[in-house]
Chains A and B, each alone.
Chain A
Amino acid sequence: MASGIPVYYVARNLWTRRLTTGLTAGGMALVVFVFAVVLMLDEGLKRTLVTTGEYDNVVVTRRASETEIQSLIQREQVPIVETHPAVALDRDGTALVSRELVVLISLNKRNSEKPSNIAIRGVSPRALELRPQVKIVEGRMFEAGKSEIIAGSGITRRFSGAGVGERLRFGQRDWTVVGLFDAGNSGFDSEIWGDVEQLAQAFRRTTYSAVIVRLADTRRFDQLKRDIESDPRLTLEAKREQVYYADQSKALSTFISILGLTLSIIFSVGAMIGAMITMYASVANRVAEIGTLRALGFRRRAILAAFLMESMLLGLVGGGVGLFFASFMQLVTFSTMNFQSFAELAFGFTLNGAIVAKSVAFAAIMGLVGGVLPAARAARMKIVDSLRAA
């Protein structure tokens, strides 16, 4: 870039006014922190739900029930689904399916003793084959026909009575927690699993909530969906498991991103005003320098560019600091009630390249916008007038 004012001139001017630069960049850092953390939370939520679903699994629920918890499937309907030719069979020729019952139970948190809704999932013995991401990490799998349950890693930590060897009471029975499973940070980590038939008895349910089937061939999904949804004996619908879980969190995800982005934008107005004040002062303190640069032959454009660069750099410093602190949020777990299922869901803050890029761009834009008017003022000055200000 010939005809440009060197970057080190710009950078050193920021360094010379360290207090002002620090305060202004600090304000911007907080805005970028909020911005990045919101994106990270949304990303964490999405990742949790994407890993919850297995692409080739299909969730069959009652039509228009929206969630498994509200869904009811009559027992006589289940074989019709299970014997569909698109369903995968194992070596013995039995179908890879899990009949599931999902209900909400109210459990108390370990630290606060406040109750929260937890999804408890009754599953068939094949459930672990259908969900390879779910692994027993402590204790063992529950035994069919017994009042035994296994708890997700997110549950054991946060709820009383949910550790291995402890007992929980619901449905007029005591249930022993015999195992702890890790579901790879998926939504299942916020659930308790048990034998579907035992749970159905305890909760006096004659129906299931959902039937999960594995596709023999991923391309046969459309066929399965068409057959199930058009069968007059069934009033069911079929969704790929991944799609099902993504739909489950749409409302929460939309809420987080809209609230977060609105706040970031409003807050950025404050930070941009801060940048503007700083940059106006920076221009005012350097009127004679601006005149000198112009006299030496630097064009108005070069002056404009130099001050825009200065305010952009200010934004980038803030962005860097904000991102640095935001990256520590990856150590934190966020748990809240999913508006759609009314069950508690725990998820993390996930930082990725796209979020870093967006945050840096946001910081740079904040700086630029804050610097436009001051930079324009600097560029518009008449040389003779500014030299006289010396």
Chain B
Amino acid sequence: MSEARAPLVEIRRLAKAYRRGGQAVPVLSDINLEIAEGDFLALMGPSGSGKSTLLNLIAGIDKPDAGELRVAGEDITRLSEAELADWRAANVGFIFQFYNLMPVLTAFENVELPLMLTRLARRERRERVDMMLSLVGLAERASHYPSELSGGQKQRVAIARAIVGDPRLIVADEPTGDLDRVSAAEILHLLQRLNRELGKTVIMVTHDANAASAARAVIHLEKGELVAEP
């Protein structure tokens, strides 16, 4: 059990707009937020509120127009494209609504994929992947392809892939959005375990209040701004 102490994510005056037909449409404006290490935060809000954009910015797959975004003390807005890629590989694990597994790779190979970016030897990779698959309870499905797995199983493979590189931060975009109630509960439970037992900081976007209740804290976005609990 790790207690929240130093902030892992620090956001200052963050702004982002999209250009649509020559006009700038603000998506996020003047966001200030701190997320402590070891937190499990749910980001809620109606569609178009900018919650996914905020998540993408924190995860380093999108760039803000203005403001600072520090993760573990490093301002990631200043990193080059390639540096950012390396940074993501080392620090962020992703979980998507539609799992985003590679259909031509087995569960094992999907989980192994992020390790291709490390210098680990083949034997070490194998051990890590086996460990992760056991952790999500899919050890016996290692050689199955995504098309042979259920939605819940696919998402568990995705979770194993997200943590195999031992990142500090896990970002999840509607991780239960495509799942039935039972599978969704399993996934949420798994995320809680990652947070509690492994000390991972988890940021989850959801519009499902049930899912949000699994988190330790919930923040709301509306029209690109943080708002108090409605």
List the interface of chain A (C-beta within 8 A of B).
Answer: 2-6, 8-9, 12-13, 15-16, 288-289, 291-301, 383-384, 387, 390
Contact = CB atoms under 8 A, between A and B. Distances in A.
A298 B114 CA distance: 8
Interface of B: 56, 59, 61-62, 81-82, 85-90, 92, 94, 96-98, 100, 102-105, 109, 113-114, 116-119, 161, 165
B125 to A, nearest CB: 11
A5 B116 contact: yes
B116 A6 contact: yes
Given A289-B100, A383-B62, A384-B56, A297 B114 contact: yes
11 contacts: A9-B109, A288-B98, A289-B100, A292-B96, A297-B86, A297-B89, A300-B81, A300-B85, A383-B56, A384-B62, A390-B97
Contact of B61 (A4, A9, A289, A295): A295
A283 to B, nearest CB: 15
Given A299-B85, A383-B62, 9 more contacts: A6-B113, A291-B100, A296-B114, A297-B89, A298-B85, A384-B56, A387-B61, A387-B100, A390-B100
B120 to A, nearest CB: 9
Nearest to B97: A390
Contact of B59 (A12, A13, A295): A295
A13 B103 CA distance: 9
Contacts of A300: 81-82, 85
Contacts of A5: 116
A4 B105 CA distance: 15
Contacts of A383: 56, 61-62
Nearest to B86: A297
A385 B74 CA distance: 25
Nearest to A10: B104
Nearest to A297: B89
A296 B62 contact: no
A3 B61 contact: no
A9 B88 contact: no
Nearest to B145: A12
Contacts of A390: 96-98, 100
Per DSSP, chain A at the interface is helix
Nearest to A383: B61
A369 to B, nearest CB: 25
B95 to A, nearest CB: 11
Given A9-B105, A384-B56, A384-B61, A298 B96 contact: no
Nearest to A12: B104
A292 B104 CA distance: 14
A15 B145 CA distance: 15
A289 B105 CA distance: 12
A284 to B, nearest CB: 15
Contact of B116 (A3, A13, A15): A3
Contact of B88 (A6, A291, A295, A387): A295
A295 B165 CA distance: 13
Nearest to B18: A384
A387 B118 contact: no
Task: List the 5 closest A-B pairs by CB distance, nearest first.
Answer: A297-B89, A12-B104, A292-B100, A383-B61, A297-B88
A299 B87 CA distance: 11
Contact of B117 (A16, A297, A387): A297
Contacts of B104: 9, 12-13, 15-16
A295 B91 CA distance: 11
Contacts of B113: 6, 293, 296
Given A292-B96, A390-B98, A2 B117 contact: yes
A291 B97 CA distance: 14
A390 B96 CA distance: 10
Contacts of B118: 2
Contacts of A15: 104
Contacts of B97: 390
Contacts of A294: 61, 85
B62 A295 contact: no
A9 B161 CA distance: 16
Nearest to A388: B52
Contacts of A296: 88-89, 94, 113-114, 117, 161
B102 A289 contact: yes
B100 A4 contact: no
B47 to A, nearest CB: 13
A9 B100 CA distance: 15
A141 B59 CA distance: 89
Residue in B92, B96, B98, B116 with the greatest tally of chain A CB atoms within 10 Å: B116
Contacts of B117: 2-3, 296-298
Contacts of B82: 299-301
Contacts of A298: 85, 89, 117
Residue in A5, A299, A300 with the greatest tally of chain B CB atoms within 10 Å: A299
